Amino acid sequence: MKTNYTLIGDVREKLKELPEKSIQMCVTSPPYYNLRDYDNQENQLGLEKTPEEFVANLVEVFAEVHRVLRDDGTLWLNLGDSYLKDKQLGFIPQKVAIALQEWGWILRQDIIWAKKNCMPESVKDRFTKSHEYIFLFSKQPKYFFNQVLEPVKKNTVKKRTIKGIGMRPDEIKKLKKGGIAGYTNNMRNKRSVWNMKTASYKEAHFAVFPPELAETCIKAGSNEKDIVLDCFMGSGTTAMVAQQHSRKWIGVELNPEYEKLI
């Protein structure tokens, strides 16, 4: 199958060109609801009249992603929230996640992307928003996943954990052999709050997620030579990171101007 290229056009149509069960994983960030016009492109998502219409369109897109994913594949979906009328928080990411669950996806985890360098906001009646969501979906209860570890400082494990309080008998048995549950050589299972800086690219729209975010998802969801899909490719961060880690990739992008950036 041809890889390392971008399909230009409406994602709802272009995904139909990909073979069934041909992709190992998808990591993507759709346009956020009612935030900006991406260069006046026809058929773009995010400018629907209602949140319900936006959610329905994303369900349609990810139904096709479900079709092209392998049975053990995963979807990593980054989505930020929007404010609606009367200054009401839309809860758009949660609505999308629930709609995808109802369609048939298995929602395995919600991850918080805590932005170290969030955009300032001129608001005085609430706190500045400094996080977005990443949802991990799978097609089946058992799926491919590489454990990702992160460093932990020495001697930071609480004494109650060392003593085995709140641990299962099998964990205590392992503990007595010299290990601490979840900790190996000053490394631990990565947490669900990811502290990462936003990325900027002067030639693209500013909603560019950082390479570190794509890297974490790609390492967890695939092996070398696997195919990674980004159905809202933008400037090509997912493709760049996939190629750096010896993965193949396929992108879909509505705006033909982004093809040269990718």
- Predicted TM-score (pTM) of the model is 0.86
Section 142-158 average pLDDT: 81
- Convert the chain into a string of H (helix), E (strand) and C (coil): CCCCEEEECCHHHHHHHCCCCCEEEEEECCCCCCCCCCCCCCCCCCCCCCHHHHHHHHHHHHHHHHHHEEEEEEEEEEECCCECHHHCECCHHHHHHHHHHHHCCEEEEEEEEEECCCCCCCCCCCCCCCEEEEEEEECCCCCCCCCCEEECCCCCCCHHHHCCCCCCHHHHHHHHCCCECCEECCEEECCCEEEECCECCCCCCCCECCHHHHHHHHHHHCCCCCEEEECCCCCCHHHHHHHHCCCEEEEEECCCCHHHHC
Give the model confidence (pLDDT) of 80-133 as tens digits.
999 998 899 999 999 999 999 999 999 999 999 998 887 778 888 999 888 999
Pick from 214, 221, 208: nearest CA to 244:
214
What is the arithmetic mean of pLDDT over 18-41?
85
Q: Are strands 248-253 and 227-230 parallel, antiparallel or unpaired?
A: parallel
Rounded Cα–Cα distance for residues 50 and 160 (Å): 50
Summarize the confidence of residues 53-73 as an average pLDDT.
97
Q: What is the pLDDT of residue 38?
A: 56
- pLDDT tens-digit readout, 152-179: 876 555 544 545 455 566 666 665 554 5
Q: How far apart are CA 120 and CA 123, in angstroms?
A: 9
Q: Check whether 226 has a pLDDT greater than 80.
A: yes
Q: Region 138-160: what's the mean pLDDT?
A: 80
